[in-house]
Amino acid sequence: MTCPRIETLPWCEGARAPGGEPGPAAGQYESVSESSDLPLPSARSAPTIPYASYLRVYEPLAAFAEPERTHWADYARRGATPTAQDELRRSLSDLVRVPVVGVPAHESGDAFTTVVDGVLLVCPWRTRLRGWLALQELVEWFPRPVLDAALPPGARLRAVEDYERWRERNPDARPWIRTGVWQVPLRWFVLVADEERDHVPGERLRYRTPMVQARRRLARALRTLRDAEGYGALADGLVEVGSWLEEFHPRSLVELDYGGLVHALPADRLAADRSAGDLAAGIAALRAGDTEGATEVYEGLAERWRAVRERLFAN
């Protein structure tokens, strides 16, 4: 089919690759500038940014329709490998502009990439939709006076109108990246296993797992939670995450990244953190009929992350 040009991207966001695999769509959270050579804002001018964790999906090139497939192949060949910190720095650059830019005017052509078993996997930033979705969340998180001071009502209104027009043209767009603010949402831990934990003190704490494993773990956990009482919120969250994962290529890679929390939480707490293993143990107890044991594990885990969220939000 002939695809209209979407914003500044040279490919169609509704297209499908050969074999029916979904073509590119959009992403979720920070607004990021198109320009990579913007100066980093000073500590005095930079606004306080919420500490965030990330759930990312990396898809193989086969999942992308042309000409985007060639774009990402060339992108990786050039050695363009920006980090999460690069993305955050560009976010900061947008946030301190005058007038305030709530959502970038153009879509990003950047991505996170990795190679697994010789196969290039790509996680597009798609920062424009992520900015729009972030604004929706900010309205829920912050009192109106604080929100107005950070982003004037006029800028928010323009962003909402732009999003509505864009959504009409891209009804099936979905993100490759999801964000947890001041926490790691507990439902994300269902997708990974403790043995997949990758912790480099002061640098990163992440889990990576094949898409097929993530889907299998989610389905098994959901069967257990639906048969139990008191876990409705967790089950509903898993249904939503599961629907999102179904949008991607079956040979994708799923990554749970603690992101900025690595720099916000005490080193000893991070070293001792085994949230994925704890949640798996709680669900296993529930499956075995040990309701009391499952409740103890789940409530303890929820309380630990509630304390993290409250501490970081207060700061």
Last residue of one domain, picked from the residues 180, 215, 248:
180
User: What is the predicted pLDDT for the residue at 237?
Assistant: 95
pLDDT (average), residues 37-48:
35
Query: Does the pTM exceed 0.85?
Result: no
**By C-alpha distance, which of 3, 16, 50 is closest to 248?**
16
Q: Between residues 235 and 160, which one has the greater pLDDT? A: 235
**Is residue 59 within 8 Å of residue 250, measured between CB atoms?**
no
Last residue of one domain, picked from the residues 154, 180, 206:
180
DSSP H/E element including 280: helix 275-287
User: Quick check: is 191 in a domain?
Assistant: yes
**Is residue 95 within 8 Å of residue 47, measured between CB atoms?**
yes
Last residue of one domain, picked from the residues 159, 180, 201:
180
Residues 59 and 173 in one domain: yes
Residues 174 and 257 in one domain: no
User: Quick check: is 257 in a domain?
Assistant: yes
Express as a percent the part of the chain with pLDDT over 70. 66
Give the count of domains, the chain.
2
Residue 227 burial by CB count (10 A; 0-12/13-18/19+): exposed, middle or buried? exposed
Residues 208 and 151 in one domain: no
Least confident of 34-43, 47-56, 110-119, 233-242: 34-43
Residues 138 and 193 in one domain: no
- Checking if the pLDDT of 70 tops 90, the result is yes
Residue 150 burial by CB count (10 A; 0-12/13-18/19+): exposed, middle or buried? middle
- Checking if the pLDDT of 166 tops 90, the result is no
User: What is the predicted pLDDT for the residue at 89?
Assistant: 65
Q: Between residues 32 and 176, which one has the greater pLDDT? A: 176
Residues 205 and 268 in one domain: yes
**Is residue 53 within 8 Å of residue 264, measured between CB atoms?**
no
Residues 75 and 124 in one domain: yes
Mean pLDDT, the chain, whole residue set: 77
**Binning pLDDT at 50, 70 and 90, where does residue 153 land?**
confident
- Checking if the pLDDT of 30 tops 60, the result is no
Residues 67 and 174 in one domain: yes
Range of the domain at 174: 52-180
User: Quick check: is 36 in a domain?
Assistant: no
User: Quick check: is 32 in a domain?
Assistant: no
pLDDT (average), residues 29-36:
28
**Binning pLDDT at 50, 70 and 90, where does residue 6 land?**
very low
Residues 271 and 170 in one domain: no
**Binning pLDDT at 50, 70 and 90, where does residue 129 land?**
low
User: Quick check: is 78 in a domain?
Assistant: yes
User: Quick check: is 16 in a domain?
Assistant: no
pLDDT tens-place string over residues 78-88 = 987 777 767 66
pLDDT (average), residues 222-246:
94
Residues 201, 190, 29, CA angle at the centre, nearest 5°? 70
Residues 156 and 259 in one domain: no
User: Quick check: is 39 in a domain?
Assistant: no
